[in-house]
C-alpha cells in the first residue's frame, strides 16, 4: 500500500487538521496509560518543525453522540501539554471552533473536544458524515491521518474529511503499515502468532488468514475454551462460543494439513467465579462443572515461552488470561518475557496486549514494535481494506 507521505508537503504557515488516536484509558479523571498520546508526538513535532499550526481531532470511548463528562478529552489536553512543553488550547464544541482555529499561529495547537460527542461522526448515514466533515474542513488547510487505531472505521474525521482537503499519512500510520506488511509479505521464519482475548468470533477471520502464512499458532485467553470444546473437552463455566465450535474444528484441520504447529494449553488456573480468588491448577481434562478457567497454567506458560524463544518473527494480540486479576497474570507475563528475548521482529498488537505489558511493568522499548490499533491491526492482517488508509493512498 503506497501512502501519501507527510515529508513530501510544504506546510509553512498552514493550519493542519491532525487526526491522531488519543483514546487512552482514564480512571477517576486520571490517564492510566498515555502510550497512544506519546505515539502521536513524532508527527506533531514534525508539523511544528514544518511551521504549521495544528488542530487535533480525536475521540475517547464510545459516547454515542452524547456529551458524557467522563469521556472528555480535557485530561488529554493537559497531559499533551506537559509532553510537548507548550500550551494546548481546548475547544469544548466541535461546531464552534472556527474562531479558535483561525487564530492559531505556527507552532500552536488546539484540541477539539471528543469528536464522538457529535452523532454525525459515527453516523451510518453517509450524508450526515459528509455534512459534518464539510464543517470540520473549515478548520484547516491540510489533513493528516495518524490515528491508526481508528482507520478501520468509516467515520467523518477519519474518512470523509480526508477527501475534502489535501492530505497525507502521519508518521505513525506509515510505520504501522510497514510493520504489518512485513508480517504479511516477508516475515523471517519461524513466524509465530499468539492470539488471546475473550472471543473466537473476534479473531476467527485473522486466524484463517494467518494460518496460511505462519509456522506456529498459539492460543490463549477466553477463546481457548472453544478450541478445547472443539477437541471434545468439557470446559465447565468457562467462556464458550458454541456456535464457533465447528469453525474451530475446520481451523484445527487446516493447521494439520499445512503442518502448522498449533499450541493449546495442557493446564489451567481456574476459580468458581469471575473474581480474583486464589487459583486452582488443573489439567485441561479436569475442569470441574462449576469452575471457570481464568489463565493458562504454569506448565502451558513455560511451553508457550519456550516455543516463542525459537522464533524470528512474532505477532501477539490478546492476553493469555484475566491479567487485571493479580492471581491470573502469569500466562500473559510469560509470553511477554519470551517476546523480550526473541532475536527478531516482535509485534505487540495494540489494545489489551499493550495495556497488559505496561501494567505488568514492561517497557515499550523491550519489544520490537507496539501497535496502537488492536482492531485495526487485526483487520489489516485479515486482508481487509481499511477506509482510513484507502483514503490516504
Give the C-alpha separation, 144 to 16, whole Å. Answer: 7
Question: Per the residue annotation, which of 14, 19, 36, 303 is the catalytic one?
Answer: 36
- Of 107, 37, 48, which Cα lies nearest the Cα of 76? 37
Q: Which domains does the chain have, with CATH numbers?
A: 6-171 (3.40.50.1260), 178-382 (3.40.50.1260)
Give the C-alpha separation, 237 to 23, whole Å. Answer: 33
Can you name the residues that pair with 280 across neighbouring β-strands? 270
55 φ/ψ angles, rounded to the nearest 5 degrees: -110, 120
* Residue given cell 469471575 in the structure block: 274
CA-to-CA separations, 197 to 35, 67, 225, 232, in angstroms, rounded: 20, 30, 11, 21
Contacts of 163 (CB under 8 A, 6+ apart): 133, 391
CA-to-CA separations, 24 to 21, 122, 155, 183, in angstroms, rounded: 8, 19, 19, 26
- Of 351, 350, 346, 325, which Cα lies nearest the Cα of 336? 346
Q: Do residues 86 and 109 touch, judged by C-beta distance below 8 A?
A: yes
- To the nearest 10 degrees (0 to 180), the angle between helices 330-340 and 298-309 is 20
Active site residue 199: yes
Active site residue 280: no
pLDDT score at 326: 96
pLDDT score at 349: 87
Task: Please give the grid coordinates belonging to residue 346.
Answer: 516482535
Residues of the chain with pLDDT under 50: none
- How does strand 345-348 pair with strand 313-317? parallel
Give the C-alpha separation, 214 to 41, whole Å. Answer: 33
* Residue given cell 475446520 in the structure block: 250
Give the C-alpha separation, 256 to 331, whole Å. Answer: 25
pLDDT tens-place string over residues 301-311: 999 999 999 99
Contacts of 73 (CB under 8 A, 6+ apart): 22, 58, 60, 90, 111, 112, 113, 114
Biggest alpha carbon distance in the chain?
68
Question: Per the residue annotation, which of 4, 68, 199, 384 is the catalytic one?
Answer: 199
- Of 116, 110, 80, 108, which Cα lies nearest the Cα of 97? 110
pLDDT score at 372: 87
CA-to-CA separations, 284 to 224, 229, 233, 335, in angstroms, rounded: 11, 10, 8, 19
Give the C-alpha separation, 211 to 390, whole Å. Answer: 25
Handedness of CA 238, 240, 242, 247 (dihedral sign): negative
Active site residue 375: yes
Question: Per the residue annotation, which of 140, 197, 221, 351 is the catalytic one?
Answer: 351
CA-to-CA separations, 346 to 207, 311, 343, 380, in angstroms, rounded: 18, 10, 9, 17
Amino acid at each position: 500500500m503506497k501512502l501519501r507521505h507527510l515529508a513530501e508537503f510544504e506546510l509553512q504557515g498552514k493550519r493542519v487538521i491532525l487526526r491522531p488516536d488519543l483514546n487512552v484509558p482514564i480512571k477517576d479523571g486520571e490517564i492510566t496509560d498515555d502510550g497512544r498520546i506519546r505515539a502521536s508526538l513524532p508527527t506533531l513535532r514534525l508539523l511544528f518543525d514544518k511551521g504549521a499550526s495544528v488542530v487535533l481531532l480525536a475521540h475517547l470511548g464510545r459516547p454515542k453522540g452524547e456529551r458524557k463528562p467522563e469521556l472528555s478529552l480535557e485530561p488529554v489536553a493537559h497531559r499533551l501539554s506537559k509532553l510537548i512543553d507548550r500550551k494546548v488550547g481546548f475547544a469544548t464544541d466541535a461546531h464552534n471552533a472556527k474562531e479558535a482555529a483561525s487564530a492559531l499561529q505556527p507552532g500552536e495547537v488546539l484540541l477539539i473536544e471528543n469528536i464522538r460527542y457529535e452523532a454525525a461522526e459515527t453516523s451510518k448515514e453517509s450524508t450526515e458524515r459528509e455534512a459534518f466533515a464539510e464543517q470540520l474542513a473549515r478548520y484547516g488547510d491540510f489533513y493528516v491521518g495518524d490515528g491508526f487505531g481508528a482507520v478501520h472505521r468509516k467515520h467523518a474525521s477519519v474518512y470523509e474529511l480526508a477527501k475534502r482537503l489535501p492530505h497525507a499519512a502521519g508518521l505513525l500510520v506509515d510505520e504501522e503499515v510497514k510493520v504489518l506488511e512485513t508480517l504479511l509479505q516477508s516475515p523471517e521464519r519461524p513466524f509465530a502468532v499468539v492470539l488471546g482475548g475473550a472471543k473466537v468470533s473476534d479473531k476467527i477471520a485473522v486466524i484463517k488468514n494467518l494460518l496460511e502464512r505462519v509456522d506456529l499458532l498459539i492460543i490463549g485467553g477466553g477463546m481457548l475454551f472453544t478450541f478445547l470444546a472443539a477437541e471434545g473437552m468439557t470446559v465447565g463455566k468457562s467462556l464458550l462460543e458454541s456456535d464457533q465450535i465447528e469453525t474451530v474444528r475446520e481451523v484445527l484441520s487446516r493447521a494439520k494439513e499445512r503442518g502448522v504447529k498449533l499450541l493449546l494449553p495442557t493446564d489451567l488456573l481456574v476459580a468458581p467465579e469471575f473474581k480474583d480468588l486464589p487459583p486452582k491448577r488443573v489439567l485441561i481434562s479436569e475442569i470441574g462443572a462449576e469452575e471457570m478457567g481464568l489463565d493458562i497454567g504454569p506448565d502451558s506458560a513455560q511451553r508457550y515461552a519456550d516455543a516463542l524463544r525459537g522464533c524470528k518473527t512474532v505477532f501477539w494480540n490478546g492476553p493469555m488470561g484475566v491479567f487485571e486479576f493479580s492471581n491470573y497474570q502469569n500466562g500473559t507475563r510469560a509470553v511477554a518475557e519470551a517476546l523480550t528475548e526473541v532475536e527478531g521482529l516482535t509485534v505487540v498488537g495494540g489494545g489489551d496486549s499493550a495495556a497488559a505489558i505496561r501494567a505488568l511493568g514492561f517497557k515499550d522499548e523491550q519489544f520490537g514494535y507496539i501497535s496502537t490499533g488492536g482492531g485495526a491491526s487485526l483487520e489489516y492482517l485479515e486482508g481487509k481494506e481499511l477506509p482510513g488508509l484507502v483514503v490516504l493512498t
